Amino acid sequence: MRTKMILLGCVSLLGLLSVQCFADHKTKDSSNHAKVDPGNAGLTLPAGFHAQAIAENLGAARHIAVTPKGDIYVKISSGKPGNAIAVLHDDNGKMDVKTFGTYRGTGIAIKDGYLYASSDEDVFRYKLDDQFQVINKDQPEKIITGLINRRQHESKSIALDNDGNIYVNIGAYSNSCQVQDRAKGSKGIPGCPIRDSAAGIWQFRADKANQTYGDGSKFATGLRNVVGLDWNNQSNHLFVMQHGRDGLFDMWPEYYSLEQGNELPAECMYKLNKGDDAGWPYIYYDGIQNKKMLAPEYGGDGKKTGGENAIDPVAAFPAHMAPNGLLFYTGNQFPAKYKNGAFIAFHGSWNRQKGQKGYLVAFVPFKDGMPSGKWEVFADGFAGIKDIQSPGQAQHRPCGLAQGPDGSLYVTDDVKGTVYKITYNGK
Amino acid sequence: MKKWMLVGVVCGLWTMAAAQTKKPAAAGSSAVRGKKVYEQYCLACHQIDGSGVPRMNPPLIKTSYVLGEKEPLINVVLKGMDASVPIDDEYYSNNMPPHAFLKDQEIADVLTYVRSNFGNKASAVTPAEVKAVREKK
């Protein structure tokens, strides 16, 4: 009874709040469409950049895609009927939000007249009309089906190249391929069998119905879990962000201190060629020593190196920050240094101890298809608090990234479902 | 009116004090030891405040497991959990490993700690109860 009353109270409060937000939004938008939020929607940005929350309370807003007309498709990871994809259409300053589809999942992309979206097992596509609107919302074509989903690392993120291929992440349903997942001291399974059907990027045709493992090919292996990935049109390569392994200190305190567990391994960016192996679960990348290290499950002790045949990352970031979105910026709105560089949405860590890290959008400059400088924080303040002890305290967590036709950058948040639009005017 | 409230408060305090003296610090010191166990074996996933990680590791705040029957609760710790069933209407993507390597006393302590912290108010778990569940298999 009491909880019910409290709940009721909360719900009505939320109701009031959202009515308030809506009201604010409407007046703001209708009075002057181009006006920016002086508070930058709570974000901190480099000088001359501005942020605006263009939608709120969408639910678990994961990846995002923007059409050449400026309509925005957001993949919502929700099992609620009719709530798989949100379409945001700016109707003369008033944001019109509609939803359709019923499946959880993260991936969404637009390519050659189709909208692609993924559940945690399948990939669908929807034909777009000449206004880039979905023609038949209730009958997508299922192009890929039956991909492994054992709850852990379930996101089937997607990216497309210019030759009619689609790349799908199939994350490892395990932390480090132990006999007993995440158990203290449990050894790695020899010849890790998870790599046969997961822990990599699979390549399929973008236009063929009902493909499954046998119809596609393993493009790259040894990747524990990739949520953010993007095709780089400059170098014609797939780039991916790997979520590095957890638990070096928790499970192997004989080899690692709490601090080492916090700082290892690096979150890595890889540039992939067909057949590449990034080494999971046998190795991890130590971003402090810049070395591939043998995993303790496979005989490592924090000192032995390994992975002679595994590729090296092209960029390494602090541990556990959970890179969920990757976007190569090709627009002309932002200053020249951003052109062709990579934006990365870090969802924020949960398994650091004594203070979490991430919850920001980072930037890495690129030249000729390779990183050309150190990474930097681009947008911060999503969490709404300074000293984050546990991820539940974060009011927003960045997840997906997209570029609008005018070169604006869009960022999703999967806590409350806010969509941020970041613009540059130099002022 | 005021007077009666005062009497009420005093009575309340007195019964609490009495209850505490009756049960010699057992539950209290068990929870203190349990905090240590929690920090070493549970905190990384369930977090310092028991709030868990949204959609990944469930909270230990007033969940039906934490406040409910002791046997299923003890079994979660002994056997771990990788069910694809929702916990209080939410799905969690991570796996919880078995912690059968912990001693009966340690499991009793950590569950007593969990059941009396993070806003939970439930009775202590004893080593005998853990032993009984462990022997059932």
The per-residue DSSP string of chain B comes to -HHHHHHHHHHHHHHHHHHHHHS-SHHHHHHHHHHHHHHHHTHHHH-TTS--BTTTB---SS-HHHHS-HHHHHHHHHH-B---S-BTTB---S-B---TTS-HHHHHHHHHHHHTSTT-------HHHHHHHHHH-
For the record, the structure tokens of A216 come out as 């596609």
Provide CB contacts within 8 A for A19, sequence distance 6+.
none
Global pTM value: 0.89
B6 occurs within a structural domain: no
Under 8 Å CB pairs connecting chains A and B tally to 62
Give the one of B49, B92, B97 whose C-beta lies nearest to A389's C-beta. B49
pLDDT tens per residue, range A84-123: 999 999 999 899 999 999 999 999 999 999 999 999 999 9
Q: Which CATH number characterizes residue B55's domain?
A: 1.10.760.10
Interface pTM (ipTM) of the complex? 0.81
Chain B neighbours among A 336-365 (CB < 8 Å)?
350-351, 353
Largest Cα separation within chain B, whole Å, is 56
| Angle in degrees, 0-180, between the axes of helices B127-136 and B70-79, rounded to the nearest 10 | 70
B69 occurs within a structural domain: yes
Q: For position A245, what pLDDT does the model report? A: 98
Does the pLDDT at position A5 exceed 80? no
Give the one of B51, B84, B95 whose C-beta lies nearest to A390's C-beta. B51
**Partner-chain contact B47 A391, CB within 8 Å:** yes
Residues forming beta bridges with residue A142, ordered by sequence position: A124
Give the one of B41, B44, B54 whose C-beta lies nearest to A391's C-beta. B54
Query: What average pLDDT does this structure show over A161-188?
Result: 97
Largest Cα separation within chain A, whole Å, is 65
Residue B93's domain comprises: 27-136
Please check whether residue A197 touches B, CB under 8 A.
no
B22 occurs within a structural domain: no
Is-contact A199 A219, C-beta < 8 A? no
Residues forming beta bridges with residue A286, ordered by sequence position: A291
Give percent of chain A above pLDDT 90. Answer: 89
Which residues in chain B have Cβ-Cβ distances shorter than 8 Å to A181?
82, 95, 97
Does the pLDDT at position A12 exceed 90? no
Which residues in chain A have Cβ-Cβ distances shorter than 8 Å to B56?
350
Query: What average pLDDT does this structure show over B43-72?
Result: 95
Question: Which residue, B26, B119, B127, is CA-closest to B70?
Answer: B127
B101 occurs within a structural domain: yes
Residues forming beta bridges with residue A74, ordered by sequence position: A64, A86
Q: Give which of B79, B82, B96 to mutate to test A binding, by max A Cβ within 10 Å.
A: B82
What CATH architecture applies to the domain A5-424?
6 Propeller (2.120)
pLDDT tens per residue, range A226-284: 999 999 999 999 999 999 999 999 999 999 999 999 999 999 999 999 999 999 999 99
Residues forming beta bridges with residue A361, ordered by sequence position: A345, A379
Q: For position A76, what pLDDT does the model report? A: 97
For the record, the structure tokens of A199 come out as 């822990």
Please check whether residue B49 touches A, CB under 8 A.
yes
3-state secondary structure chain A: CHHHHHHHHHHHHHHHHHHHHHHHHHHHHHHCCCCCCCCHHHCECCCCEEEEEEECCCCCEEEEEECCCCCEEEEECCCCCCCCEEEEEEECCEEEEEEECCCCCCCEEEECCEEEEECCCCEEEEEECCCCCECCCCCCEEEECCCCCCCCCCCCCEEECCCCEEEEEECCCCCCCECCCCCCCCCECCCCCHHHHCCEEEEEECCCCCECHHHCEEEEECCCCEEEEEEECCCCEEEEEECCCCCHHHHCCCCCCHHHHHHCCCEEEEEECCCEECCCCCEEEECCCCEEEECHHHCCCCCCECCCCCCCCCEEECCCCCEEEEEECCCCCCCHHHCCCEEEEECCCCCCCCCCCCCEEEEECEECCEECCCCEEEEECCCCCCCCCCHHHCCCCEEEEEECCCCCEEEEECCCCCEEEEEECCC
Report the half-sphere exposure of B17 (CA within 13 A, side-chain side): 6
**Partner-chain contact B95 A182, CB within 8 Å:** yes
Please check whether residue B82 touches A, CB under 8 A.
yes
Using DSSP bridges, classify how beta strands A409-413 and A158-160 pair: parallel, antiparallel or unpaired. Answer: unpaired
- The domain locations on chain A are 5-424
**Partner-chain contact B93 A186, CB within 8 Å:** no
Does the pLDDT at position B10 exceed 70? no
Number of independent structural domains in chain B: 1
Please check whether residue A61 touches B, CB under 8 A.
no
Is-contact A308 A294, C-beta < 8 A? no
Please check whether residue B76 touches A, CB under 8 A.
no
Query: What average pLDDT does this structure show over A291-302?
Result: 98
Q: For A351, phi and psi rounded to 5 degrees? A: -115, 30
B59 occurs within a structural domain: yes
Please check whether residue A80 touches B, CB under 8 A.
no
Residue in this structure with the two tokens 């449990």, named with its chain if needed: A186
Query: What average pLDDT does this structure show over A151-160?
Result: 96
Please check whether residue A153 touches B, CB under 8 A.
yes
**Partner-chain contact A393 B51, CB within 8 Å:** yes
Report the C-alpha gap between A368 and A362 in whole angstroms.
20
Rg of chain B over all Cα atoms, to the nearest angstrom: 17
Q: Give which of A390, A413, A416 to mutate to test B binding, by max B Cβ within 10 Å.
A: A390
Which residues in chain A have Cβ-Cβ distances shorter than 8 Å to B80?
180, 183
Q: Give which of B95, B99, B106 to mutate to test A binding, by max A Cβ within 10 Å.
A: B95
B98 occurs within a structural domain: yes
pLDDT tens per residue, range A42-83: 999 999 999 999 999 999 999 999 999 999 999 999 989 999
Is-contact A121 A146, C-beta < 8 A? yes
B67 occurs within a structural domain: yes
Q: For position B15, what pLDDT does the model report? A: 44
Which residues in chain A have Cβ-Cβ distances shorter than 8 Å to B59?
392
Determine if residue A415 is left, alpha or beta; phi over 0 gives left, psi from -120 to 50 gives alpha, anything else beta.
alpha
**Partner-chain contact A183 B59, CB within 8 Å:** no
Is-contact A421 A45, C-beta < 8 A? no
Which residues in chain A have Cβ-Cβ distances shorter than 8 Å to B52?
392
Q: Among all residues of chain A, which has the CA nearest to that of B44?
A: A351
Angstroms from B94 CA to nearest CA on chain A: 5
- Cβ-in-10-Å burial (0-12, 13-18, 19+) of A117 comes to buried
One-letter amino acid at A132 equals F
**Partner-chain contact B93 A154, CB within 8 Å:** yes
Please check whether residue A180 touches B, CB under 8 A.
yes
Does the pLDDT at position A286 exceed 80? yes
Report the C-alpha gap between A147 and A184 in whole angstroms.
29
pLDDT tens per residue, range A337-382: 999 999 999 999 999 988 999 999 999 999 999 999 999 999 999 9
Please check whether residue B121 touches A, CB under 8 A.
no
Q: For position A35, what pLDDT does the model report? A: 54
B103 occurs within a structural domain: yes
**Partner-chain contact A183 B98, CB within 8 Å:** yes
Which residues in chain B have Cβ-Cβ distances shorter than 8 Å to A152?
93-95
